[in-house]
């Protein structure tokens, strides 16, 4: 089978790595890919947002399956464009993609189907929103309705901060049209967790839960990022919580898809807050999480290509997912300055020093020179904010964690930064043991 992956980050590298294990796979392509993916797939120099060119390429190559990684091409309707050419796709269509592309759409879906979530109100006029500062109290949760690369959520501690955020979103329009509607939410308190599910028309099947680290600095300090690390399985889940999530969230969500005519086929990523009143939905994404995927897929024992084909063909109910009992921890190495400005092109060293059983998923990397054509001619250099994800597996969570950090410390590029507390339960202050390793770099 010929498979074409869209995207070029750590998530897509993990998907490519897992697909390569399938005996059904014959050819693998990826657009645009990166220096790590180039070892597993033929990288095609097309941007993930160039939906027309991607569709034409998939048709020309007669791809058997296209797997869409990031949210933007999903929101642009790439699935619909490929399906119009009779190409099989893993990833929801444009109508379903609103579940990530519009927070107002998702909130009204959740409300309509009685799924637990924060109270909310949507505003499309700046003056009206300014009159409602403090609605649901402080911190005031303000969200740009549309896609904003993970930066569209502000928790304003005071009325002044809220006013400033509103001015940015609706006055200066820093998120463009994505901020023309702003959602105000009640602030939920509790522990966050991510649950990713495979979904087709007939069933919804959760993967093993994972934990993500969103902020740049240890102890959840500093600005939000795309995700600085992850581990799986989550330490906060037990059978009771899983059962409660199935009953109160997964079942009514799937039933809601049916009632609303949403033909969802792909991954539904549910951001959850585990509150004292039980689990509540913070958000939906309609794709694999990054870096959650880099800690989940290494634990999957089933054939990922078979699962993708089953989802695309509405046959998921016939499949059972098998998971390894091993634990996985993924530490993300980021460029100095990220999530603010940073400089690309820094030489990466030490990739050859990593243990053979440790997985290094590339996110923002390219070959020195002008791209994949220069493969093998020079080294690998940084080409993005999140550069690499180092995933280690272990018989215990602690073993996986120690191995991930030992190996992460062997990789170097100028300015490299990573969190030292990935895999520690939240709010533990015993992170100092890693400080000496950091200074040694």
Residues that bind ligand GLY (CB under 6 A): 212, 227, 285, 289-290, 292
Tokens 């109100």 belong to 121
Element (H, E) at 256: helix 251-259
212's contact among ligand GLY, ligand AMP, none, with CB below 5 to 8 A by partner kind, is: ligand GLY
What are the angstrom distances between the C-alpha of 231 and each of 133, 173, 234, 438? 37, 36, 7, 21
What are the angstrom distances between the C-alpha of 191 and each of 111, 240, 247? 22, 16, 19
185 binds ligand AMP (CB under 6 A): yes
271 binds ligand AMP (CB under 6 A): yes
Of 145 and 290, CB closest to ligand GLY: 290
118 binds ligand AMP (CB under 6 A): yes
214 binds ligand AMP (CB under 6 A): yes
Among residues 110, 188, 334, 393, which is the contact residue for ligand AMP, using CB under 6 A?
188
Of 285 and 382, CB closest to ligand AMP: 285
Of 227 and 266, CB closest to ligand GLY: 227
Among residues 153, 174, 321, 358, which is the contact residue for ligand AMP, using CB under 6 A?
153
For residue 216 the two structure tokens come to 């740049």
Cα–chain-centroid distance for residue 146? 16
187 binds ligand AMP (CB under 6 A): yes
For residue 333 the two structure tokens come to 């190495």
282's contact among ligand GLY, ligand AMP, none, with CB below 5 to 8 A by partner kind, is: ligand AMP
The answer to whether the beta carbons of residues 237 and 209 sit under 8 Å apart is yes
- The alpha carbon dihedral of 414, 419, 420, 423 has a sign of negative
192's contact among ligand AMP, ligand GLY, none, with CB below 5 to 8 A by partner kind, is: ligand AMP
How far is 205 from 208, CA to CA, in rounded Å?
10
Among candidate residues 50, 3, 49, 56, the one with its CA nearest the CA of residue 30: 3
Quote the least distance from Cβ 290 to ligand GLY, whole Å: 4
Of 90 and 284, CB closest to ligand AMP: 284
Per DSSP, which regions of 91-139 are E strands? 120-123
Quote the least distance from Cβ 412 to ligand AMP, whole Å: 30
Q: Identify any residues that bridge with 280 across adjacent strands, giving them in sequence order.
A: 273
141 binds ligand AMP (CB under 6 A): yes
Segment contacting ligand AMP by CB under 6 A, of 90-98, 186-194, 329-337, 426-434: 186-194
Quote the least distance from Cβ 315 to ligand AMP, whole Å: 31
Of 66 and 210, CB closest to ligand AMP: 210
Segment contacting ligand AMP by CB under 6 A, of 184-192, 200-208, 287-295, 337-345: 184-192
The DSSP letter of residue 188 is P
3-state SS record for 109-159: HHHHCCCCECCEEEECCHHHHHCCCCCCCCCEEEEECCCCCCCCEEEECCH
Cα–chain-centroid distance for residue 268? 11
Of 228 and 393, CB closest to ligand AMP: 228
CA angle 189, 195, 201 (to 5 degrees): 130
187's contact among ligand AMP, ligand GLY, none, with CB below 5 to 8 A by partner kind, is: ligand AMP
How far is 305 from 429, CA to CA, in rounded Å?
41
118's contact among ligand GLY, ligand AMP, none, with CB below 5 to 8 A by partner kind, is: ligand AMP
Burial of 86 (0-12, 13-18, 19+ CB in 10 A): exposed
283 binds ligand AMP (CB under 6 A): yes
- Residues contributing to the site for ligand AMP (CB under 6 A): 118, 141, 143, 153, 185, 187-188, 192, 214, 271, 282-283
């Amino acid at each position: 089978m010929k498979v074409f992956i869209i995207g070029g980050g750590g998530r897509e590298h993990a998907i490519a790595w897992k697909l390569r294990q399938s005996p059904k796979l014959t050819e693998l392509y990826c657009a645009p890919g990166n220096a790590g993916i180039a070892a597993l797939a033929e990288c095609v120099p097309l941007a993930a947002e160039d939906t027309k060119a991607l569709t034409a390429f998939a048709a020309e190559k007669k791809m058997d399956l296209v797997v869409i990684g990031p949210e933007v091409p999903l929101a642009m309707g790439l699935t619909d464009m490929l399906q119009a050419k009779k190409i099989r796709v893993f990833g929801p269509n444009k109508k379903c993609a609103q579940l990530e592309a519009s927070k107002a759409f998702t909130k009204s879906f959740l409300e309509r189907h009685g799924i637990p979530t924060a109270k909310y109100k949507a505003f499309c006029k700046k003056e009206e929103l300014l009159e409602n500062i403090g609605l649901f109290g402080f911190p005031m949760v303000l969200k740009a309705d549309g896609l904003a690369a993970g930066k569209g959520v502000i928790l304003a501690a005071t009325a002044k901060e809220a006013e400033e955020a509103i001015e940015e979103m609706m006055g200066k329009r820093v998120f463009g049209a994505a901020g023309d509607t702003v959602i105000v939410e009640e602030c939920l308190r509790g522990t966050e967790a991510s649950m990713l599910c495979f979904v087709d028309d007939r069933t919804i099947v959760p993967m093993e839960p994972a934990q993500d680290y969103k902020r740049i600095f240890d102890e959840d300090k500093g600005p939000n990022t795309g995700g600085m690390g992850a581990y799986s399985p989550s330490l906060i889940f037990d059978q009771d919580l899983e059962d409660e999530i199935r009953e109160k969230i997964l079942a009514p969500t799937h039933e809601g898809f049916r009632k609303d005519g949403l033909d969802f086929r792909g991954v539904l990523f549910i951001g959850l807050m585990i509150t004292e009143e039980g689990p509540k939905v913070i958000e939906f994404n309609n794709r694999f999480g990054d870096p959650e995927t880099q800690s989940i897929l290494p634990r999957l024992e089933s054939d990922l290509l078979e699962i993708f084909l089953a989802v695309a063909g509405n046959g998921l109910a016939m499949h059972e997912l098998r998971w390894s009992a091993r634990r996985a921890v993924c530490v993300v190495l980021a460029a100095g300055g990220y999530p603010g400005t940073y400089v690309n092109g820094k030489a990466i060293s030490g990739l050859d020093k990593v243990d053979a059983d440790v997985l290094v998923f590339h996110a923002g990397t390219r070959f020195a020179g002008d791209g994949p054509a220069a493969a093998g001619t020079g080294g690998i250099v940084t080409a993005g904010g999140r550069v690499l994800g180092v995933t280690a597996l272990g018989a215990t969570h602690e073993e996986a964690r120690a191995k991930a950090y030992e190996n992460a410390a062997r990789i170097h590029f100028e300015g490299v930064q990573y969190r030292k507390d990935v895999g520690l339960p939240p709010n533990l202050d015993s992170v100092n043991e890693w400080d000496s390793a950091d200074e040694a770099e």
